[in-house]
Structure 1
Amino acid sequence: MGSSLLSPLTSLHCQIPFKPKDKLAGGTPILSTKTFSDASRYSCSSSSCAPSSSRPVPPLHRTVPLAASLAILLWSNPAEAGFLSGLPGIESVPGPQLPQVEFLERFNEENQKKYAEFDERFKQSPLLKKLLEQSKLNKEKNRQEIQDKYCIRGAEWGVGDCSAEGMSPEDRENFISMLKQKAGVK
């Protein structure tokens, strides 16, 4: 029991003096509670413990660890990539030259010519021309619808270019109904 109480104290790498109260059979001392309260008065160093009142800690010993921590924090270099970061990767190394098969090369060239002809024919087709023209018309129509919608909203709210803020209530209603009729909104 006594040795299990001493193991946490000896793990501090210092020896705290204690006064045995009694001894167990076998000579193991039993520690009193007064001994543990007395232990708080001792300061430990790497070699031994001494009463804290007899050994004051100089201010230099308090500031050295703080200064070292600040030096490391302030003078550390920014993180950099590993030492291989400047070297090209494996993707830049050319692979082995594969044997060229004449039949496959001819087949590939014929297919490339065929695809180029198909693309040219499609670009000249009347269907594509019709679809492109319809797309341009739809784009202009949609742009005009969006402008009309925002003009009506601005007139109703009294903001923007289509604002009806200075009009009489009757003129305002006529103006908004005219905008809705123009836009095709009911």
Structure 2
Amino acid sequence: MVEIVTICTGNICRSPLAALALRTRLADLGVSVVSAGTRGLADHAMTDEAQRLAVARGIPAADAAAHRARFLSEAHLASADLVLAMARDHRRAVAELAPARSRVAFTVREFARLAGSLSDAAVLAAAAAAPDQDAAGRLRGALTAVSGQRGLVLPPADPADDDVIDPYRRSWATYELSAVQLDPALDAVVRIVRLAVAPTPT
């Protein structure tokens, strides 16, 4: 089974929204998606605004309401195939907690930037070349190609463009901006996972 972990600070806005969206969009593939926070507000629900964003994206209201925040631990990362941080400081926290996961840890917008440089054919070839041809193995092969674009793809002019803005305790407009930044990044994740795990037969 493919395992994806999404990470933010409190685990009540960005990372649960990302996890719920990916879980919904990849449900037919049986992908496991969980979220956690580097300073997780243990057992807190998603904010009302984040739940509103979730429902607007086709996530069942009951699923959004059921979320409870958790503090990121090494156990969450132990078997993760892909780690998606909402910002660079979260990615650094992953590298410190589980150095072995650094190659599969990206900020979600960084992932989209790197993946956007790869054609479908390149992703499929990388997945097909993976030593293990189960779903997780094929995804790891594809992620090797994505990670390999580091240093080849130009970084953003503003490093903050690799982050999803934190909307916690801010305006509804900031929540909307956060979602606008997150949506296309999640599109890129779904594209890579689907190409690797469920390639279209030729």
**TM-score, L = length of structure 2:** 0.16
Higher RCO, Cα 8 Å, sep 6+: 2
User: TM-score of the superposition, structure 1-length normalised?
Assistant: 0.17
